[in-house]
Amino acid sequence: MWFKVIVAKDIAIIRGVSAAIFAISLSFLNIYFFERGYSMAYVGLITGISTIVGSAMRIPSGLLSDILGPSRVLISGIFLRGFALVMIAVFMYYDFDLIWFFPLLLLNSAAFSFLITSSNSIISLYFRELDLTRALSIVRVGINIGFSVGPLIGGFISEFSFPLLFLISGVLSFVLLIFVIKIKNKIDGEIAKSRNLGKKVSFKDVFSPILDAQFLILLLFVFFGGVIISQFLNSLPVIAKDQNFSNRQIGFFFTQNGFFVIILQIPLVKFIMKFFINDDIKIGEEVINNNNISSRKISAVFLGLLLYVVAFNFFGFYQSFAWYSFCVFILTLGEIIFQTFSMDLAMNFAPKDKKGTYLGFFEFSEAIGWSVGKYFGGFVFDLFHHEPKKFWFIVSLPALPAFLLIFVFRIFTNKRNESRN
């Protein structure tokens, strides 16, 4: 048990530092190009394509995790990302033209997808169902610490040197290899017991997640969930600014969100698991009431998304700083519950030999939802930004098909469990 805690903490460090690397360097990349006089439309095209490629790479990175083993893909992703960031620093130092950065940005996005999907595959394969939510919570705390600390470090270093900013980020990425190597042998040994590495994957296997009717419903649900969730990052800042909130106040909302995720993630999930999901009926390490556990986790996902919808519609009632802060708190509770248990469901319902492939599709579906949500929110904002109640109500509407889908998913799950019994 103690080694499982070490594995969870090491993966949390890997994901947390990776998040910090993004916040330290890549979040300041547009500023670098802007200061050199490039058209922001041109910059947006280059970075936008790399983001799309990175999202699409979640699928092949998951497939490679199933074929080669997730720890190998994780090492490759960390190494390639470190190489890309160091080379970006070199190109900045010698003032290369923007177009030369394009292949490095593509490589960075692909490598980051390798890192995310393979680490999720490790969590899914290594931890049992009752340990899974705890592991996910530890990792989410690490990620949020990284995103909280990264901008502070990046803002400080960027005042002196952009090349130094990316060089430090690249070196930090290489340092992460130490944590992977430390746990690799133990991870590989445990994973090998649960599935056959090197299994030949056919074309049908690659697309097996969308041929699995039950998992396809989950993919569609998380897509609509992504459309909803993206409004916090994409719509809240602009509508708050339109209502005369200062940049500092808007920044506080995001700081508050990160702070409460760090503070509440583990105790809130532990509370839900103890009092609403886990009946504590076991023989050894095997859970007897697995059917109830799955059904209750689905209910938790429903509750998490419902809290998002409630918070968004509350934003429309008053435009005071204190009220917005209260709404962000409700939203944060929804984020913790929804993000943790939706990923938990995906990990549990993915077949052992295809964990990476299934999780790759899950992450891709979520990313596409975020992308669609960005444009959806922008479109609604142009029409209703002077009517906050209508705006928040309309951007919450994708929750309706999401709720319907999660209800259908629960019916599928109950029928599957009944057929097994």
- Token output for 248: 């500092």
For the stretch 316-354, pLDDT in tens is 898 899 999 999 999 999 999 999 999 999 998 888 888
Task: Answer with the one of 198, 230, 263 that is the final residue of a domain.
Answer: 198
Distance CA 224, CA 247 (A): 29
Residue pair 94/74 in contact (Cβ under 8 Å)? The answer is no
* Residue 421: DSSP 8-state: -
For the stretch 60-101, pLDDT in tens is 999 998 888 899 999 999 999 999 999 999 999 999 999 999
Query: Please, which residues have CB within 8 angstroms of residue 383's CB and are 6 or more apart in sequence?
Result: none
* Domain CATH for 95: 1.20.1250.20
Q: What is the pLDDT of residue 202?
A: 60
131 and 250 in a single domain? The answer is no
Q: What is the pLDDT of residue 41?
A: 80
Mind giving me the DSSP string for 4-58?
A: HHHHHHHHHHHHHHHHHHHHHTGGGHHHHHHHTT--HHHHHHHHHHHHHHHHHTH
154 and 224 in a single domain? The answer is no
192 and 298 in a single domain? The answer is no
Compute the mean pLDDT over every residue in the chain, rounded to the nearest whole number: 86
Query: Please, which residues have CB within 8 angstroms of residue 197's CB and are 6 or more apart in sequence?
Result: 67, 68, 69, 191
Range of the domain at 389: 201-421
The model carries a pTM of 0.87
Task: Answer with the one of 160, 182, 198 that is the final residue of a domain.
Answer: 198
159 and 224 in a single domain? The answer is no
For the stretch 26-67, pLDDT in tens is 778 888 888 888 887 888 888 888 888 888 999 999 999 888
Q: What is the pLDDT of residue 286?
A: 46
Exposure string over 66-99, b if 16+ CB within 10 A, otherwise e:
bbebbbbbbbbbbbbbbbbbbbbbebbeeeeebe
- With 0-12 / 13-18 / 19 or more C-beta atoms within 10 angstroms meaning exposed / middle / buried, residue 190 is middle
Q: Tell me the sheet residues that pair with 286.
A: 283
